[in-house]
Amino acid sequence: MKKFLGYTGLVMLLVPVQTTLLPHVAIWDIKPDLGLVVAALVGVLAGELHGLIVGLAIGWILNLYSAGDLWLNLVTTGGAGLFAGLLARQVAEITPTILAVGLLFLSLAGGLVAVLNMKSATMADTWWMIQFVVVPQAFFDTAVGAGLLWFLEQRFAVPRFGMLDRYS
C-alpha cells in the first residue's frame, strides 16, 4: 500500500514538473522526458514488473497533456520501464554510467519509434526531427537519469545498487 501511494504521488507530481517547470530548463526547445527517466529508474531499482506498471501509468497520464497518440506513449514509457528492468538483470552493479548507456539506448529507441510513426512528416522532416529532437533529447535524458541515480546514491547512502539491494 505504501509503495502504491508512493508511485501514485510520483506519477501525479511528474505532470506539473514535466509540463510547467521543465520548459524553463529547455535547451534549444528540448526538455528531458522525465516520464521515461523515472520509468526506467523504477524498472532498474524495483524490477521490470514495477517498471512496466509505473511506466504505463506515467505514459497514460502524461498523454492527457500531450497532443500525441496514447498507444505511442504507453508503448514507449511502459517499454522503457520494462526493458530497463530486464537490462538491469544483466549487469552486476548499477552505476550512473551503466544507467546512462541504457537510458541513451531506450530514449533513442522510443524517440525513433515516435518520429517514424508521424504520418504527415516528409523524409526531410523526419531526418530533421531525429537530428534536432530525438538525439539531443536522448542525451538530455541520459544526463538527467545519471544525475538522479547519483543523487539517490548520495542522499540515501546506498553505496552500490547491486543485485541484492535491488531484489532482496
In 31-69, where does DSSP find H-type helix?
Answer: 34-46, 48-63
Angle of the 135-155 helix axis to the 96-116 helix axis, nearest 10: 150
- Residue 17 or 150 with smaller CB distance to another protein: 17
AA identity, residue 141: D
Residue in the block written with cell 511506466: 55
Query: Would you call 94 helix, strand, or coil by DSSP?
Result: strand
Q: Residue 118: enclosing H or E segment and its boundaries? A: none
Residues 76-95 that bind another protein (CB under 8 A): 78-79, 82, 85-86, 89
Of 7, 38, 41, 47, the one binding another protein by CB under 8 A: 47
- Taking CB under 8 A as the rule, which mask of x and - marks residues 97-136 in contact with another protein? --------------x--xx--x-xx---x--xx--xx---
Nearest to 130, CA basis, from 148, 113, 151, 115:
115
Which range touches another protein (CB under 8 A), out of 26-34, 96-104, 143-151, 153-161?
Answer: 26-34
How far apart CA 86 and CA 36 sit, in angstroms, is: 15
Of 10, 66, 101, 105, the one binding another protein by CB under 8 A: 66
Would you tell me which residues interact with another protein (CB under 8 A)?
Answer: 12-13, 15-21, 23-24, 29-31, 33, 35, 47-49, 51-52, 56, 60-68, 70-71, 73-75, 78-79, 82, 85-86, 89, 111, 114-115, 118, 120-121, 125, 128-129, 132-133, 137, 167
